[in-house]
Amino acid sequence: MFPSSFDYVAARSVEEAVAAKAGAGDDARVLAGGQSLIPMMKMRLAAPAQLVDINRVPGLDALERTNGQLRVGALVRHADIARSDLAFGAIASAAPWISDPLVRNLGTLCGSVAHCDPEGDWNSVLLATGADVVARGPSGERTIPITDFVVDFFTNALRDDEMVTEVRIPVPNGRSGGSYQKLERKVGDYATVAVAAHLELGGTGAIARAGVALTAVVPKNTKVTAAENVLVGNHPSTELFEEAAELAAQASEPRDDVRGSAEWKRNVVRVFTRRALTAAAAQAQQG
Amino acid sequence: MTLTQKPSTPPEIGGIGHSVRRHEDDRFIVGQGRYLDDHTLPGMLHMAILRSPLPHARINSIDTSAAAAVDGVVAVVTGELLAQYNLAWMPTLSGDTQAVLATDKVRFQGQEVAAVVATDPYIAEDALELIEVDYEPLPVITSPQQSLAADAVLIRDDKEGQTSNLVYEWEAGDGAATEVAFARADRVVSLETHYPRSHPSPLETCGCLADVNSATGQATIYMTSQAPHAIRTVFAMVAGLPEQNIRIISPDIGGGFGNKVPVYPGYVVATAASLVIGKPVKWVESRSENLISTGFARDYHMKGELALTNDGRILALRVQMLSDQGAFYADAQPTQFRAGLFHVVTGSYDFPAAHVQCRGAYTNKAPGGVAYRCSFRITEASYLIERLVQTAAYELGIDPADIRFKNFIQPDQFPYETPTGFVYDSGDYPTALRSALDAIGYEKLRAEQAAARDEGRFVGIGIAHFTEAVGAGPSKKYDILGLKMIDSAELRVHPTGKAILKLGVRSQGQGHETTFAQIVADELGIPVTDIKVVEGDTDNTPYGLGTYASRSTPVAGAAAAVVSRKIADKARKIAAHLLEAADDDIELQNGVFSVKGTPGRSVTIADVSLAAYTNLPDGMEYGLEDVHYYDPPNLTYPYGSYVVVVDVDPETGVWKARRVVALDDCGVRINPMIVEGQIHGGLTEGFAKSSMQWITFDEEGNCSGSNFMDYLIPTAWETPRFELLETCTPSPHHPIGAKGVGESATVGSPAAYVNAVIDAVAHLGVRNIDMPLLPDRVWSAIQSARATGG
Ligand SMILES: Cc1cc2nc3c(=O)[nH]c(=O)nc-3n(C[C@H](O)[C@H](O)[C@H](O)COP(=O)(O)OP(=O)(O)OC[C@H]3O[C@@H](n4cnc5c(N)ncnc54)[C@H](O)[C@@H]3O)c2cc1C
| Same-domain pairing of B781 and B656 | yes
Check residue B481 and give its pLDDT: 84
Do residues B617 and B574 touch, judged by C-beta distance below 8 A?
yes
Confidence tier at B4 by pLDDT (50, 70, 90): low
Is residue B731 in a domain?
yes
| Same-domain pairing of B215 and B96 | yes
3-state percent breakdown (helix, strand, coil) of chain A, nearest 5: 35, 30, 35
Q: Which residues contact B440 (CB under 8 A, 6 or more apart)?
A: B461, B643, B645, B659, B661
B784 touches chain A (CB under 8 A): no
Tell me how far CA of residue A116 lies from CA of A48, A132, A152, in angstroms: 17, 15, 7
Do residues B326 and B108 touch, judged by C-beta distance below 8 A?
yes
CA B404, B410, B413: angle at the middle one, nearest 5? Answer: 145
Mutate to test the pocket of ligand 1, among A42, A91, A99 (most ligand atoms within 8 A of CB): A99
Selecting from A2, A186, A268 the residue whose C-beta is nearest the C-beta of B125 gives: A2
Confidence tier at B6 by pLDDT (50, 70, 90): confident
| Same-domain pairing of B644 and B623 | no
Report d(CA B253, CA B223) in Å as an integer: 9
Check residue A25 and give its pLDDT: 73
In sign, the C-alpha dihedral spanning B156, B162, B165, B171 is negative
Going by C-alpha positions, the residue among B573, B685, B582 that lies closest to residue B618 is B573
Is residue B360 in a domain?
no
CA-based nearest distance A264→chain B, Å: 6
Give backbone dihedrals phi and psi of B127, rounded to 5 degrees, phi first: -65, -35
- How many helices (H) and strands (E) chain B has is answered by 19, 35
B85-100: average pLDDT: 94
Is residue B591 in a domain?
yes
| Same-domain pairing of B656 and B714 | yes
| Same-domain pairing of B772 and B724 | yes
A residues 137-176 closer than 8 Å to B (CB): none
| Same-domain pairing of B658 and B782 | yes
Do residues B178 and B316 touch, judged by C-beta distance below 8 A?
yes
Strand runs (DSSP E) across A17-170, as ranges?
28-31, 50-53, 63-66, 69-73, 132-137, 140-145, 150-152, 155-156, 163-170
A166-189: average pLDDT: 96
Is residue B177 in a domain?
no
Residue of A40, A99, A103, A186 for testing the chain B interface, max B β-carbons within 10 Å: A186
| Same-domain pairing of B456 and B522 | no
- Neighbouring CB atoms inside 10 A of B68's CB total 15
| Same-domain pairing of B584 and B505 | yes
Do residues B651 and A271 touch, judged by C-beta distance below 8 A?
yes
Report d(CA B549, CA B466) in Å as an integer: 16
Report d(CA A67, CA B749) in Å as an integer: 57
Report d(CA A178, CA A167) in Å as an integer: 18
Ligand 1: distance of its center to the CA of A257 in Å? 23
Is residue B316 in a domain?
no
B200-215: average pLDDT: 96
Structural Rg of chain A based on CA atoms? 19
Given a cut of 70, whether residue B583 has pLDDT beyond it is yes
Active-site residue, selected from the candidate residues B156, B338, B373, B377: B373
Do residues B591 and B540 touch, judged by C-beta distance below 8 A?
no
Give the pLDDT confidence of B489-538 residue by residue, as tens digits.
999 999 999 999 999 999 999 999 999 999 999 999 999 999 999 999 99
Catalytic residue flag (residue B449): no
CATH of the domain at B663: 3.30.365.10
Given a cut of 60, whether residue A259 has pLDDT beyond it is yes
Q: Which three-class secondary structure state does DSSP give residue B420?
A: coil
Report d(CA B658, CA B149) in Å as an integer: 44
| Furthest CA-CA distance within chain A | 61
Report the run of H or E that residue B99 belongs to, with start and end: strand B97-99
Ligand 1 neighbour A156 (Cβ under 6 A)? no
Ligand 1 neighbour A29 (Cβ under 6 A)? yes
Ligand 1 neighbour A136 (Cβ under 6 A)? no
Is residue B437 in a domain?
yes
Mutate to test the pocket of ligand 1, among A13, A16, A29, A35 (most ligand atoms within 8 A of CB): A35
Ligand 1: distance of its center to the CA of A103 in Å? 9
Is residue B198 in a domain?
no
Check residue B90 and give its pLDDT: 94
Count of the separate structural domains present in chain B: 3
Considering only CA atoms, which residue is closest to atom 12 of ligand 1?
A120
**Stretch among B105-109, B450-454, B482-486, B660-664 having the lowest mean pLDDT:** B482-486
Going by C-alpha positions, the residue among B646, B505, B613, B487 that lies closest to residue B562 is B487
Given a cut of 80, whether residue B468 has pLDDT beyond it is yes
A185 touches chain B (CB under 8 A): yes
Q: Which three-class secondary structure state does DSSP give residue B173?
A: strand
Give backbone dihedrals phi and psi of B18, rounded to 5 degrees, phi first: -95, 135
pLDDT, chain A, mean:
96
Given a cut of 80, whether residue A287 has pLDDT beyond it is no
Is residue B699 in a domain?
yes
Selecting from B652, B709, B715 the residue whose C-beta is nearest the C-beta of A183 gives: B652
CA-based nearest distance B785→chain A, Å: 15
Beta strand pairing call for B696-697 and B703-704: antiparallel
Given a cut of 60, whether residue B186 has pLDDT beyond it is yes
Q: Which of B293, B312, B341 is the last residue of a domain?
A: B293
A14-37: average pLDDT: 93
Considering only CA atoms, which residue is closest to atom 4 of ligand 1?
A99
Active-site residue, selected from the candidate residues B98, B109, B226, B510: B226
Check residue A24 and give its pLDDT: 86
Structural Rg of chain B based on CA atoms? 27
Ligand 1 neighbour A30 (Cβ under 6 A)? yes
Check residue B2 and give its pLDDT: 57
Tell me how far CA of residue A32 lies from CA of A163, B114, B469, in angstroms: 11, 37, 53
Active-site residue, selected from the candidate residues B206, B208, B358, B374: B374
Give the pLDDT confidence of B238-289 residue by residue, as tens digits.
778 899 999 999 999 999 999 999 999 999 999 999 999 999 999 999 999 9
Find out whether the peptide bond into B473 is cis, omega within 30 degrees of 0: yes
CA-based nearest distance B126→chain A, Å: 7
Catalytic residue flag (residue B374): yes
A173-191: average pLDDT: 96
CATH of the domain at B96: 3.90.1170.50
Going by C-alpha positions, the residue among B512, B515, B467, B548 that lies closest to residue B744 is B467
Given a cut of 80, whether residue B13 has pLDDT beyond it is yes
Going by C-alpha positions, the residue among B328, B317, B374 that lies closest to residue B350 is B317
| Same-domain pairing of B740 and B723 | yes
| Same-domain pairing of B499 and B445 | no
A269 touches chain B (CB under 8 A): no
Mutate to test the pocket of ligand 1, among A42, A53, A112 (most ligand atoms within 8 A of CB): A112
Do residues A117 and A153 touch, judged by C-beta distance below 8 A?
yes
CA-based nearest distance A263→chain B, Å: 9
B residues 267-286 closer than 8 Å to A (CB): 286
Give the pLDDT confidence of A76-116 residue by residue, as tens digits.
999 999 999 999 999 999 999 999 999 999 999 999 999 99
- Neighbouring CB atoms inside 10 A of B75's CB total 18
Catalytic residue flag (residue B373): yes
Considering only CA atoms, which residue is closest to atom 28 of ligand 1?
A34
- How many helices (H) and strands (E) chain A has is answered by 11, 14
Report d(CA B462, CA B759) in Å as an integer: 6
Q: B126 and A4 in contact by Cβ < 8 A?
A: yes
Given a cut of 80, whether residue B5 has pLDDT beyond it is no
Between chain A and chain B, the number of residue pairs with CB atoms below 8 A apart is: 59
Ligand 1: distance of its center to the CA of A32 in Å? 8
- A260: closest chain B residue by CA: B776
Do residues B384 and B302 touch, judged by C-beta distance below 8 A?
yes
CA-based nearest distance B518→chain A, Å: 38
Q: Which domains does chain A have, with CATH numbers?
A: 7-53 (3.30.43.10), 63-170 (3.30.465.10), 176-285 (3.30.390.50)
Ligand 1: distance of its center to the CA of A105 in Å? 12
Give the pLDDT confidence of B654-697 residue by residue, as tens digits.
999 999 999 999 999 999 999 999 999 999 999 999 999 999 99
Do residues B307 and B344 touch, judged by C-beta distance below 8 A?
no
Given a cut of 70, whether residue B3 has pLDDT beyond it is no
| Same-domain pairing of B654 and B590 | no
Q: Which residues contact B29 (CB under 8 A, 6 or more apart)?
A: none
| Same-domain pairing of B678 and B768 | yes
Burial of B717 (0-12, 13-18, 19+ CB in 10 A): exposed
B70 touches chain A (CB under 8 A): no
Which structural domain, as residue segments, surrounds residue B404?
377-470+634-787
